[in-house]
């Protein structure tokens, strides 16, 4: 057995993209400050047999952050994560050469609470394999398990010639304080998250126009190769859970996002003002069967009442964690215990979600692909999918 891989990797693997393009990924961070952008870009790539697959969770601090989020001791959590997923890679080649010659639509992706930029790679890689450039943002609003920015080192510290003059400043997940109202915090965070999505959009368009962008992370990726490769008229935003709320907030603030896809959206952070007709663009809600509840669904419906371009479907047998990658890298027992797996096969659930997303994007971005073969899924027609919701929305009977 290969020494570099654990048994987990042998049996559990994040699915590869099924589209016609090979996929590469690279990380981009601008500015030595917390206000800069931080994202992982997934993109159609040239053949890159010499490039290694990208690490899935790239720093041990993410294990520490996940431990905090899950209320585990850091020392225990770090060892567990290292053992189970330490050698997992995502099926995209790190810093592979960008595939020029086409104008690709752009998708900005927003992660959920306690997540970060790398752990929705199954979705992002599939979209890139189908011809999208995907910018997966890492949010710095203290909703990620962990994230960081680079800051200049103190001059007083002795420096080796070869070492960098910057260091990572880590930002960990912030728990609610005693007596703090959650809605207030989450609404503030979702506004920052939307701004970070818009900032990521601006950044990619800047690169597309040929402007030089300084990446503070060391990589040999040629950012100039993206020049004139993004279709600036075909841009969408997508996200999971808290990222679903971020999609809604982003659509209301930025008309360049022509449509949005909210995966199992958590509606609490969405401001009351948003319901007053401020989301004009088409919006697809893809829900799991086990996560949603009446009040949350009613908010989605309020947003989309009398608008045929606002759609909702539910994937049967799925759970809230059917969308992030953990569902693919956990075994049956751990998967069921931590609700990382539902009754449906994780590969089938993600295929339904991805196919419905692609059909919706083709319609509303006017793409000339064959994704319309999955149009019926957007109407909730097909195996393991239903239109609307499985939640009973009738008012509770008075006792």
Examine the residue annotation and report whether 241 is marked as an active-site residue of this protein.
Answer: yes
What is the rounded CA–CA span in Å between residue 259 and residue 240?
A: 15
Q: Which of 264, 318, 322, 355 is catalytic?
A: 264
User: Residue 333, class by beta-carbon neighbours within 10 Å (0-12 exposed, 13-18 middle, 19+ buried)?
Assistant: exposed
CA distance 58 to 223: 21
- The active-site residue out of 111, 320, 355, 364 is 320
β 38-45/133-137 pair status: antiparallel
- Indicate which residue of 241, 250, 330, 353 is catalytic: 241
Cα-to-chain-centroid distance, residue 140: 14
Which H or E run contains 334? helix 332-337
State yes or no: is 379 an active-site residue.
no
Per the annotation, the verdict on 187 as an active-site residue is no
Percentages helix, strand, coil for the chain (3-state, rounded to 5) are 35, 20, 45
Element (H, E) at 97: none
Closest Cα to residue 273, out of 203, 196, 191? Answer: 191
Cα dist from 205 to 128, 135, 252, 315, whole Å = 17, 11, 20, 34
Length of the chain: 399
Which residues participate in catalysis according to the annotation? 241, 264, 320
């Amino acid at each position: 057995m290969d020494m570099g891989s654990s048994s987990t990797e042998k049996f559990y693997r994040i699915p590869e993209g099924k589209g016609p393009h090979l996929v590469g990924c690279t990380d981009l961070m601008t500015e030595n400050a917390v206000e800069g952008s931080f994202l992982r870009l997934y993109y159609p790539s040239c053949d890159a047999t010499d490039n290694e697959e990208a690490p899935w969770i790239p720093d041990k601090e993410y294990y520490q952050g996940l431990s905090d989020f899950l209320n585990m001791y850091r020392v225990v959590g770090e060892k567990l994560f290292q053992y189970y997923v330490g050698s997992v890679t995502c099926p995209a080649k790190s810093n592979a050469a960008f595939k020029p010659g086409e104008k690709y639509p752009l998708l900005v992706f927003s992660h959920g609470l306690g997540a970060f930029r790398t752990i929705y790679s199954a979705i992002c890689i599939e979209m890139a394999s189908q011809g999208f450039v995907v910018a997966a943002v890492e949010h710095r609003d203290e909703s990620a398990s962990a994230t960081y920015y680079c800051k200049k080192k103190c001059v007083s510290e002795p420096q080796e010639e070869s070492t960098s003059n910057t260091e990572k400043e880590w930002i960990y997940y912030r728990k609610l304080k005693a007596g703090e109202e959650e809605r207030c915090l989450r609404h503030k965070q979702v506004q920052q998250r939307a701004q970070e999505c818009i900032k990521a959009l601006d950044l990619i368009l800047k690169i597309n126009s040929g402007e030089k962008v300084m990446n503070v992370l060391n990589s040999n990726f040629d950012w100039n190769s993206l020049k004139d490769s993004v279709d600036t008229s075909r841009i969408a935003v997508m996200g999971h859970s808290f990222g679903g709320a971020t999609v809604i907030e982003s659509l209301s603030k930025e008309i360049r996002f022509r449509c949005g896809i909210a995966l199992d959206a958590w509606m609490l952070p969405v401001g009351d003002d948003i319901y007053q007709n401020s989301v004009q663009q088409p919006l697809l809600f893809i829900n799991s069967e086990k996560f949603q509840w009446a009040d949350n669904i009613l908010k989605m419906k309020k947003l989309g009442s009398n608008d045929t371009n606002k759609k909702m479907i539910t994937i049967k047998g799925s759970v809230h964690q059917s969308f992030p990658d953990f569902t693919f890298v956990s075994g049956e027992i751990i998967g069921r215990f931590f609700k990382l797996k539902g009754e449906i096969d994780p590969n089938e659930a993600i295929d339904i979600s991805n196919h419905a997303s692609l059909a919706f994007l083709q319609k509303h971005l006017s793409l000339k692909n064959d994704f319309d073969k999955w149009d019926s899924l957007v109407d909730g027609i097909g195996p393991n999918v239903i239109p609307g919701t499985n939640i009973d929305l009738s008012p509770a009977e008075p006792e």
